[in-house]
């Protein structure tokens, strides 16, 4: 038993096959680099933009002994998810970790908020994780064993846990849906013959191309100052959560939404008037 408690065993992801949607940039790339650096066998990254994805995969692949494979697909449609899994099945015979990270956002004042924003955000942020998880079940089941379940990790957001002071209505609602979809899938797949864990990571403000849009409403400094821990998230913060959930250390965790946000949700201080006490 003692050997299983060693860091090298408890948090190892060596030899795993991993898929990271939206894995070529932003938080998705942070996950991809973490698995490749820590000796995953295969890291598959996917997005719509083939040239950028191929370049990212080449850079990620140089970080470890495994292989990084780029597969360009549009996951916002069921057909796109099916096409991706068909290609994936031709490259790997099992899937240890599926990270549903690809997402989109839309900001506009409430009076001007377009209907197409809801369609776009819910198609990629909510329907795609369901469609892709379902399509990947044969590969996930092939990797799973009683003591070592395969893993699904959805990427939510603190925006799905508390109101944000920006007009991203569809995005915030879609991330709340991701969190509940995570619990629903965890309940379904924990009881299946092939045990599969399903959890979500809810990042706070982590600098990326998507979160950069928030700086149109407030400066990065102001956002950083609003975080109880007094700083923005880093690749190490994102990587640590994903490696935990994907390794032996997280094998008995399912149905959880793990906030990695510097205390924005759980440790936020609500100002009040001391004279009222």
Known catalytic residues? 171
The residues that bridge with 231 in the sheet, in sequence order, are: none
Q: How far is CA 82 from the centre of its chain?
A: 20
Interatomic CA distance for residues 9 and 169, integer angstroms: 42
Beta strands in 40-114 (DSSP E): 42-47, 67-72, 97-100
Residue 72 main-chain phi, psi, to 5 deg:
-85, 115
Question: What is 123-172 written as a DSSP string?
Answer: IIIIIHHHHHHHHHHHHHHHH-BTTB-EEEEEE--GGGTS--SS--HHHH
Interatomic CA distance for residues 277 and 202, integer angstroms: 35
Q: Which helix (H) or strand (E) holds 258?
A: strand 257-260
């Amino acid at each position: 038993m003692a050997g299983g408690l060693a860091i090298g065993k408890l948090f190892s992801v060596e030899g795993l096959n991993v898929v990271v949607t939206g894995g070529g940039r932003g938080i998705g790339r942070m996950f991809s680099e973490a698995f490749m650096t820590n000796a995953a066998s295969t890291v598959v990254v996917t997005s719509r933009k083939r040239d950028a994805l191929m370049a990212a995969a080449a850079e990620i692949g140089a970080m470890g002994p495994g292989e990084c494979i780029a597969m360009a697909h549009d996951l916002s449609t069921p057909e796109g998810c099916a096409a991706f899994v068909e290609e994936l099945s031709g490259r790997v015979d099992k899937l240890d970790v599926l990270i549903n990270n690809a997402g989109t956002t839309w900001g506009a004042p409430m009076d001007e908020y377009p209907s197409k924003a809801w369609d776009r955000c819910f198609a990629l942020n909510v329907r795609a994780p369901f469609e892709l998880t379902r399509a990947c079940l044969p590969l996930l089941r092939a990797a799973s064993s009683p003591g070592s379940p395969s893993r699904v990790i959805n990427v939510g957001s603190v925006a799905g846990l508390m109101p944000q002071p920006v007009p991203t209505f569809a995005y915030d609602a879609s991330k709340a849906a991701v969190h509940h979809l995570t619990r629903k899938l965890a309940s379904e797949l924990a009881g299946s013959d092939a045990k599969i864990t399903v959890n979500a990571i809810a990042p706070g403000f982590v600098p990326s191309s998507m979160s950069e849009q928030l700086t149109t409403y407030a400066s990065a400094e102001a956002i950083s100052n609003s975080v109880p821990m007094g700083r923005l998230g880093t690749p190490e913060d994102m990587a640590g959560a994903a490696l935990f959930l994907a390794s032996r250390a997280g094998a008995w965790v399912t149905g959880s939404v793990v906030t990695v946000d510097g205390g924005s949700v759980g440790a936020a201080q609500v100002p009040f008037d001391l004279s009222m006490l």
